[in-house]
Structure formats: C-alpha cells, structure tokens
C-alpha cells in the first residue's frame, strides 16, 4: 500500500468515537486574525549581525523558509492559514489538500521557532499562535453551552464498532461512566467553562460550503468566504478516509438529512442541533513543545519577553490537554466489560497522550447541555515526553491549575515507559495500548499482554491501513525521545535510542544520486506484559521493514532525531547519517516550491469504490437514509467517495485520476505538504545550531575490537557459530564470517551468531569472524576455530514450504525485492530458500543470504500451516523476474 495512504488517518482524533465531531475557531467570520499583543509590545528583534546566519545549513533553512512564505507558492490561504498542502487534489488524513489540520498549525509554530532562533525575530512566531487561536480554537459562539456541563456525568456511553456498518451506535445510559476530575479546576483557574484546545480539521476555503465559521453558532453556507470547521472520521477502525462522510462541526440541520448528519453516527430518536469538536493531542503537544524551544532560544538571546505571552497561552493549552490523559468514559484502566468500574479522581487516568479528546453540546442555549470525553486508545507515535517534561518542569510552561504539574510529571514517566514496553529487540517501537478492546470495553483475547492494565494493540485506533505500518510514526515519536535525552540526559531515553538508532541507520541508504528510507513496516508477536521493576526482553515481538521510499517529511524527522542523539551522545555515525540525509534532500529533491519527490498513488483507485458487501470497502450509508451536501451531491446507499465530493472533478489534476479509474496507469503526483516542508526546514536549522562550525562529522579511524570466544558446533551438515560482541568507539555495525579464508556471510552489528547450512559431509572447515563499523574500519580477526561436519541428513520432504520472489520496485543499478516463504499443510520447522544465480544484496532483513541460500532469523524459522514469513532485501544490478523458488525445511514431528 502506498506510503501516503498508510498515513491517511494519522490525524483522525475521532476515528473510533461514536459521539465525536469536528472543527474549531475564534473570530467573526471572515475577519483577519488579531495582531498578537506580543508582536506589538516585543522589543526590537536582535539584529541579524548579532546572530550567526552564515552557516550553510542555516542558509538552506532561510531559503526554504522564504519558499514556504512566498505567496506565489500557495502554502497559505488569503486568511493566512497554512494549507495541508500546496496541491488541492490530495487524499490522506484530510480529504483534500486545501483543508488544514491542527498538525499543520503545530508544525508552523516549529517553523517560526527555528526562524526566531536564527534571526532573533519572534513576531512571526507570535503571529502564528494568534492565527491558531483565531481559526482553530473555538470561540464562545462556537461552544455556547459549556456552562451546562456536569462533571459528574461527562457523557452518555455509545460503543464503537469495528466496521462503519455498525453505525449509528446506540446511546446506552445504562453503562456507568466516571466523573471528570479536571472541569472544576479548569473553570476555577481560567474563569470559563470553555475548552482551550484546537479542533483537528478545517475546510480552509469552505469548499464543502458548510460555513461552520469561527465565531458563529450556525452554518453560514456556501456564500461564506473563509475557513469552516468540519469532521470526517467517526465510525470505527475500519473507516478509511475513502469511506468517510464529511460533516460540519456545527450541525444545525441545514444540510444532510432530516437531522443533519448526526443520525449517521449515533442512534438518537430525536437528536438536538449541536456543536462538537475533536482534539488531536499530538498537535497540541507539538505546539507546547515548540513554545518550550521558542522560550529557550528567546531567553538565550536576552529577550524572553518577546514570547512570554504566547508561552503563557501554550501553558494554558497544556492545562486542557490533560483531557487526553484519561479514559474515554473516565473508567479505570484494566477495563474488560462495559460494567467495569467507573473512575473518580485520578483513578481513570492512564497518563498517556491518547488518540483524541472531544467535547460538544447543544446549540439551543434555552435547553443547554454539554459533554466531554477522553480516549481509551494510545499510540506511541502520539506521545510527546518532551512536552510533558516542559509542562512539569519549566516554570514558564507549568500550567496554572494546581494539579497540572503533578499530572504531567506522572505522564512523563508513563510515556517513556510506554516506549520501553513497546521496543522490539530489533529497535523499532510497536503500536500502543487500549483500555477499551474493540472500542466497547470488550474482553481482551486470552494472553494479550498489558501495560498498567491497558491491552497491547498492534494497530491502535484504525486498521485500514494499520496505524503502525507507516514508518513516519517512528520518526515522529522517537524524535521527542531524542530531544528529551538531549535536554535532560534521561538515561531511559538514551537506552531506547541506543537500540533504535542502529536499527534505523541500517535501513537508510544515501548515494550521490539516490536516497531511500523505510516507508512500511510489519509486526509479529507482542511485547511482554510490563513490569517496571523487571522489564522483559520482548523476545516474542519483532518488526521488519517491508518497503522503502522517499518521504521527505519522514526523512527530515529521522535526520532531526539522529542529530539530537548525536549531539547528546557524541555518536559520529548518527551525525554522519543525518548530515548525508539532509544533503541528499537538498541536492536531489529540491524544486522551486520546496523539497518534494514524485509519488505513485495506486490508492487513488478507491475514488469510485462502492460498498458491495456488508463488511467491505466503500462509503456506508444506512438503508433508507438520504441527504444532500451543500452543493447538491446526494448522500444515499451506493455512493462513492467522489460522488459526494463532485467538486474534485474540477481540479486541474483530476484527469490523471480519471484516466486511472478508466483503466490507465496509477497516477503520479508531486506534493508539497506543509508539515513535510517544515520537518526538513527545522532539521536544516537545527544542524548548524547543534554542531556549529564543525558541520562535517569527525573522521572515525578507530577499528572495533576483535570478536572473542568464537565457538563452532556441527550438527550433520550444519554448523552453528557464536561469539562475544566486539566494542567500538562509535558502534559496531556488522560482522563478516569467513569459512576457509573466504567471506561466506555478513550479519548485523547486534547479531553474534550465524548458521552455516548445506555443507559437505564429513568435511573439516575453519571459521573466523571480523567486526566493522560504519566508517569501514575492520577489526582483527577472531581466533580461528575448526570443526568437522557429520553425515548428511535425509532430504527434507517436498511440500514442507514454498517460496516466491517478487519485485516491489527498481531503479538504475538496484531494486527492492521480497521472498515470501509459506509453510506447507503441516507447517515447517526451519527452512532454506535457493535464490536465482548471481543474486546479491546490499541489505537484507528477515533472513540471511550466503552461497545462494537464504536462511531465516530465529524468530521466523518456524511456520505453521500456510503461515508466511517475508524476507526483504535491496538487490544489486538488474532485478530478476518474479518467480517461484526452491524451498526446503523440516515438517514438524507428529
């Protein structure tokens, strides 16, 4: 599946919620954002001559910054709102590129933070927050009935369902919900019952025509010229963006069906007109994180007052962000049925940044009511321990509420522990945890591992595509761990990075004319149940990289993560890889608008998908339900994504999609996502800041120590080798195994064993092992060991396994391939696959290649009947044809 479709639901805060909703803002419709008080009162910015702007990477940052801010390039609307992308025909989390997200705003704050650090000018940072406050945080008019909210009864329970066809979901007042411990404190602290948090999605140009405008309590319709709050995801983990029905966040029944859009989601015989918003906590946390760094940089420049008011607003946002630390219906962790205990006080807190929090209420102020919920689902990629640390420890960011610093202190520890719990032996971080199995507090499958009572969930929140398949979550999540390590020296963060960094580096390829990073990953197994006093080794959890690509935003995040780690640890290899990746992005992927690469969008074949099976793909509309969009598009059973978004047919790039729908090739697009440009830009600014004048990493000339204690054991015609790991001043990146003086295998730097199979009977062999590092320094050889094989074994029976070679993509001088091994009717214990003559690789994962034979890793050697294992690799030269390969193995006894 294409990379962009894999991230197509990263921001869907309400994806699995039965009662959630849409957008937010804060000024009268069409008004310009208010000038920041800081901008007016700030002292004169530090002169450019007082700051070092001459560095090569700083100059690149400023060049990219100018491209992003050039009105001709189209990154911002006429109101000064950042679009999700320059291009409008785009479907991923937003369903067109000219929507915006709280994610985009948070990245914009980061961009202006870097600009302030480089130039000393903090007015753009303050203006970015003012725009965020004006257009993404609901005003009093947008959330008018919060005063009727009852913290003792936050919301009425409605189960989530695994497929959209399970909706509308029945409201069930018989399920007890817990009490909200935050509402009273927040109201007392700020003198209001309103929520200070961003809604996640807005229709910047009011293309849909709802006119759910900032500062309005009703829909202003298609004539409104300005941004409009909308929502899409509402119906469980299988609701892909391709299956959503866009709705306004203010539903006054002007559009849709008899009751607007409300009865598509919850079953209420007489729903009231209402407002509803959904917060994406990772975006608010990223905004707080940016404010921390802005305050740090401005203080170092001697002008903390330049950002003080905005930093205070970030602290306030962090106060309300605590709603994401609680279970959806304020139930206690460990819940495995709807009747599980309701919480009171802090016993409903899981202290993780969950997938969303949401709030809503009646539009009718004469019959007021309101609700609030947290979320039971937590993805590691949403965690932000750096923001938690700042909210708990930075005097300028600790929120005003009495219990906020304690909540964030607990959250910091819990978030770091989540990373530790989810880390695989290879280094990658797995999905997350839930307190509400199947979104309905269902009983967890037997044997499911847990984290403080929450159940392990490989793909939290959404499954089409799986939420931890997109590699960008690794960059987003671990970047914050790296910042925490850099700022605080947290040893837990260092331990996580010490394992993660080598794994990531081993999958990054940079040459003079090409670069590749992972795009997709796949998971098997699960972590051990978490015991903070005695963490397990997670030997039953494993990850493999299943695809590579050129996502410039993810590359920027990876470079930034590696450089924070390198700056804190002195790891020259991590600095070198970040340096090379940034250079490749700049020299190979720059264009007049920014940094971008061409993407093939096979997922665009879903534009005209129609639901044909009860649990299939396509837009689900309940039988008998009908309604209309503001432009007249009909919503009824049998419609497709494009049927209720006919305006997309007028897009100048639509012809490419239509040609594909008519049977032509998959369309290609070049996209300039706002967040991706910012990820690259801020990495460029950080490189000069972190490494100063020494932009080239110091040369590594020290070789690893020789491997020790090499042993060899023969079993028939197979020899098992093991040795004690070498050490290096930077890092051991691999070992070469020689047999009778010839290299027969290479293994990764964390592997200290090798299996040599298929040898001659009754033959003497001599082995040795050398270690090498990333700079190519090679150790002395280990002491040699000699072993004699025994008699040959009977050939494994035919049918123990099958294997198939496939080619994912190719380029000049190389290609990406995969070997899929399938267990036969009785399964297989141990297997080996003979590859085409002459096949060589520069990188292989999930198996080992030696003498034309691929053998498994320990974790994928045994396969059940029809169970598969995938060995991926980067091949050298021209790709062979896809074909079946010879596979042999042992059928399990009995």
Judged by DSSP in three states, 8 sits in: coil
Flag whether pLDDT at 1 surpasses 50.
Answer: no
Flag whether pLDDT at 652 surpasses 50.
Answer: yes
Higher pLDDT, 800 or 394: 394
Flag whether pLDDT at 38 surpasses 50.
Answer: no
Higher pLDDT, 171 or 850: 171
The CA distance from 141 to 348, in Å, is: 31
Question: Mean pLDDT across the stretch 143-154?
Answer: 98
pLDDT given for residue 50 in this prediction: 59
* Residue 212: partners with Cβ closer than 8 Å, 6 or more residues away: 22, 23, 219, 220, 228, 229, 230, 248, 249, 250
Flag whether pLDDT at 232 surpasses 80.
Answer: yes
Percentage of residues in the chain with pLDDT exceeding 90? 79
Among 38-42, 238-242, 609-613, 710-714, the range scoring the smallest mean pLDDT is: 38-42
Angle between helices 491-505 and 552-569 (to 10 degrees): 130
Band (pLDDT 50/70/90 cuts) for residue 893 is low
Question: Mean pLDDT across the stretch 344-354?
Answer: 97
* Under 8 Å between Cβ of 386 and 483: yes
Q: What is the dihedral of CA 478, 479, 483, 485, to 10 degrees?
A: 30
C-alpha angle 285-289-293 in degrees, rounded to nearest 5? 170
Question: Mean pLDDT across the stretch 353-359?
Answer: 98
Among 36-50, 167-181, 396-410, 817-831, the range scoring the smallest mean pLDDT is: 36-50
Q: Estimate the share of the chain in helix, then strand, then coil, as percent rounded to the nearest 5.
A: 30, 25, 45
Percentage of residues in the chain with pLDDT exceeding 70? 92
pLDDT given for residue 277 in this prediction: 98
pLDDT given for residue 797 in this prediction: 54
Flag whether pLDDT at 481 surpasses 70.
Answer: yes
Q: Which of 370, 375, 567 is nearest to 462 (CA)?
A: 375
pLDDT given for residue 729 in this prediction: 82
| 162-172: pLDDT as tens digits | 999 999 999 99
Catalytic residue among 87, 103, 417, 544: 103
Flag whether pLDDT at 835 surpasses 80.
Answer: yes
Catalytic residue among 123, 282, 289, 327: 282
Question: Mean pLDDT across the stretch 762-782?
Answer: 92
Flag whether pLDDT at 440 surpasses 50.
Answer: yes
- Read off φ and ψ for residue 163, nearest 5 degrees: -135, 145
Does 498 qualify as catalytic in the annotation? Answer: no
Flag whether pLDDT at 12 surpasses 60.
Answer: no
Flag whether pLDDT at 698 surpasses 50.
Answer: yes
Band (pLDDT 50/70/90 cuts) for residue 32 is very low
The CA distance from 491 to 420, in Å, is: 12
Q: What are the distances in angstroms from CA 693 to CA 19, 53, 130, 482, 564? A: 54, 11, 35, 22, 16
Question: Mean pLDDT across the stretch 216-243?
Answer: 97
Q: Which of 91, 47, 98 is nearest to 75 (CA)?
A: 98
Flag whether pLDDT at 15 surpasses 50.
Answer: no
Residue 54, exposed/middle/buried by CB under 10 A (0-12, 13-18, 19+)?
A: exposed
pLDDT given for residue 555 in this prediction: 98
Among 21-30, 39-48, 191-200, 836-845, the range scoring the smallest mean pLDDT is: 21-30
Question: Mean pLDDT across the stretch 332-347?
Answer: 96
Q: What are the distances in angstroms from CA 846 to CA 176, 250, 493, 808, 818? A: 47, 50, 27, 16, 10
Among 691-705, 750-764, 799-813, 831-845, the range scoring the smallest mean pLDDT is: 691-705
Q: What are the distances in angstroms from CA 627 to CA 1, 362, 618, 631, 634? A: 33, 22, 17, 12, 6
| 594-651: pLDDT as tens digits | 999 999 999 999 999 999 998 899 999 999 999 999 999 999 999 999 999 999 999 9
Among 14-18, 44-48, 329-333, the range scoring the smallest mean pLDDT is: 14-18
- Which letter, b or e, does each residue of 372-394 get, where b requires 16 or more Cβ atoms within 10 Å of its Cβ? bbbbbbbbbbbbbbbbbbbbbbb
The CA distance from 359 to 324, in Å, is: 12
Does 282 qualify as catalytic in the annotation? Answer: yes
Average pLDDT score over the chain: 91
* Under 8 Å between Cβ of 561 and 687: no
């Amino acid at each position: 599946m294409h990379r962009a479709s894999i991230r197509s639901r990263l921001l869907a805060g309400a994806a699995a919620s039965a009662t959630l909703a849409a957008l937010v803002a804060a000024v009268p419709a069409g008004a310009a954002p208010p000038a920041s008080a800081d901008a007016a009162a700030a002292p004169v910015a530090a002169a450019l001559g007082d700051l070092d702007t001459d560095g090569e990477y700083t100059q690149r940052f400023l060049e990219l910054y100018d491209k992003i801010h050039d009105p001709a390039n189209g990154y911002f609307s006429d109101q000064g709102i950042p679009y999700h992308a320059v291009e409008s025909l785009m479907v991923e989390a937003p369903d067109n590129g000219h929507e915006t997200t709280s994610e985009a705003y948070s990245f914009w704050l980061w961009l202006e933070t870097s600009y302030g650090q480089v130039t000393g000018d903090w007015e753009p940072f303050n203006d970015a927050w003012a725009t965020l406050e004006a257009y993404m945080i609901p005003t009093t008019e947008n959330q008018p009935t919060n005063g009727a909210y009852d913290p003792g009864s936050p919301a009425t329970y409605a189960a989530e369902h695994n497929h959209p066809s399970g909706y509308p979901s029945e409201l069930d007042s018989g399920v007890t919900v817990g009490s909200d411990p935050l509402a009273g404190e927040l109201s007392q602290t700020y003198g209001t019952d309103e929520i200070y948090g961003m809604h996640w999605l807005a229709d910047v140009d009011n293309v849909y025509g709802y006119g759910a405008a900032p500062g309005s309590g009703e829909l202003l319709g298609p004539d409104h010229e300005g941004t409009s709050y909308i929502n899409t995801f509402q119906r469980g983990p299988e609701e892909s963006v391709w299956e959503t029905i866009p709705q306004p966040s203010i539903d006054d029944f002007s559009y849709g069906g008899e009751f607007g859009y409300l009865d598509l989601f919850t079953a209420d015989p007489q729903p009231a007109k209402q407002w509803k918003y959904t917060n994406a906590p990772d975006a608010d946390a990223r905004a707080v994180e940016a404010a921390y760094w802005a305050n740090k940089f401005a203080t170092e420049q001697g002008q903390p007052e330049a950002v003080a008011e905005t930093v205070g607003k970030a602290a306030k946002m962090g106060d309300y962000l605590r709603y994401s630390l609680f279970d959806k219906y304020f139930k206690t962790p460990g819940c495995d049925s709807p009747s599980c205990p309701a919480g009171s006080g802090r016993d409903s807190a899981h202290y993780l940044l969950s997938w969303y929090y949401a709030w809503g209420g009646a539009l009718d102020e004469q019959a007021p009511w309101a609700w609030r919920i947290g979320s039971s689902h937590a993805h590691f990629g949403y965690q932000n321990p750096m923001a938690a640390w700042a909210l708990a420890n930075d005097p300028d960011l600790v929120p005003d509420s009495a219990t906020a610093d304690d909540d964030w202190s607990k959250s910091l520890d819990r978030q770091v522990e989540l990373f530790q719990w989810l880390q695989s032996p290879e280094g990658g971080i797995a999905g997350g945890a839930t307190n509400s199995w199947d979104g309905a507090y269902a009983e967890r499958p037997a044997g499911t591992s847990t984290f403080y009572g929450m159940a392990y969930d490989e793909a939290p929140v959404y499954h089409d595509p799986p939420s931890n398949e997109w590699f960008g979550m690794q960059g987003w999540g671990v970047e914050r761990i790296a910042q925490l390590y850099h700022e605080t020296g947290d040893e837990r963060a260092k331990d996580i990075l010490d394992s993660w960094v080598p794994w990531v580096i081993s999958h990054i390829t940079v040459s003079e004319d090409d670069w590749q990073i992972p795009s997709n990953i796949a998971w098997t197994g699960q972590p051990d149940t978490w015991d903070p006093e005695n963490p397990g080794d997670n030997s039953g959890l494993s990850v493999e990289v299943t695809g590579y690509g050129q996502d410039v935003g993810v590359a920027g995040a990876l470079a930034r993560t590696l450089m924070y780690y390198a700056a804190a640890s002195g790891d020259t290899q991590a600095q070198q890889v970040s340096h090379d990746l940034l250079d490749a992005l700049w020299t190979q992927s720059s264009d007049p608008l920014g940094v971008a690469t061409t993407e093939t969008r096979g997922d665009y074949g879903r534009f005209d998908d129609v639901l044909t099976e009860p649990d299939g793909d396509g837009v689900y509309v309940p039988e008998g339900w009908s309604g209309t969009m503001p432009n007249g598009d009909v919503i009824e059973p049998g419609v497709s994504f494009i049927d209720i978004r006919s305006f997309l047919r007028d897009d100048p790039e639509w012809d490419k999609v239509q040609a594909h729908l008519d049977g032509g090739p998959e369309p290609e697009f070049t996209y300039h996502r706002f967040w991706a440009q910012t990820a690259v830009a801020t990495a460029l600014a950080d490189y000069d800041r972190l490494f100063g004048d020494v932009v080239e990493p110091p040369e590594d000339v020290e070789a690893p120590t020789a491997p020790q204690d090499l042993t060899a054991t023969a079993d028939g015609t197979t020899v098992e080798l093991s040795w004690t790991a070498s050490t290096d001043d930077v890092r051991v990146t691999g070992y070469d195994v020689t047999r009778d003086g010839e290299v027969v295998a290479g293994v990764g730097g964390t592997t200290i064993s090798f299996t040599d199979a298929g040898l001659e009977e009754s033959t003497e062999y001599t082995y040795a092992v050398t270690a090498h590092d990333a700079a190519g320094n090679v150790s002395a050889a280990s002491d040699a060991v000699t072993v004699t094989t025994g008699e040959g074994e009977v050939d494994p029976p035919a049918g123990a396994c099958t294997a198939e070679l496939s080619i994912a993509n190719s380029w000049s001088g190389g290609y990406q391939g995969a070997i899929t091994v399938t267990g036969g009717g009785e399964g297989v214990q141990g297997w080996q696959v003979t590859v085409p003559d002459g096949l060589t690789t520069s990188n292989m994962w999930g198996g080992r290649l030696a003498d034309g034979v691929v053998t498994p890793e320990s974790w994928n050697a045994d396969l059940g009947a029809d169970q598969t294992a995938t060995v991926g690799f980067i091949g050298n030269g021209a790709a062979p044809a896809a074909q079946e390969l010879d596979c042999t193995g042992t059928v399990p006894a009995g």
